[in-house]
Structure 1
Amino acid sequence: MITSIFKKSKPINFIIVLFITVLAFLTARTSLITEPLTTTLVLKELTVFGICILTILVFNFIITKNSLTQTNSYEVLLFSLFFLTLVQTTSYTNILISNLFVLLGLRRIISLRSQRNIKSKLFDAALLIAVAALFYFWAILFFIAFLFSLIFYSDNKIRHWIIPFVGVAAVFSIAVGLSVVIYDDFFEIFKSPRSISYDFSPYNSTRYLVAITMLLSFGIWSSMFYMQSIKKKKKDLRASFKIVIIVAILGFVLVLLAPVKNGSEFLFLFAPLSIIITNYIEIVEDKWFKEVFLAILILIPFLLLML
Structure 2
Amino acid sequence: MAADKDFNLLNSTLKWMLKDRKFHICIHDLSGIIHQNSSLQIPQKNTIHSCKFCEYAKLTTRGFKFCLKCKELSLKKALTKKNLFIGQCYLGITEIVKPIYFNDKPVCVVYLGNITLKEQTSNIYSNIDRISNLTGVKRQYLIESLDTTEKIDISELSEYEEIVEIIGSSILQHINQGMKLSRKSASALPSYRSTNNWVIELIQNYIQSYYDRDLQLSQLAKLYFLNPQYLCRLFKKETGTNFSDYLNSVRIDKAKQLLSMTEANIVDISIDVGYKNVTYFNRLFKKNTGMTPKEYRIQNTSA
* Length-normalised TM-score, structure 2: 0.28
Between Structure 1 and Structure 2, the one with more strand by share is 2
Between Structure 1 and Structure 2, the one with more helix by share is 1
Larger radius of gyration: 2
Structure with larger RCO (C-alpha < 8 A, sep 6+): 1
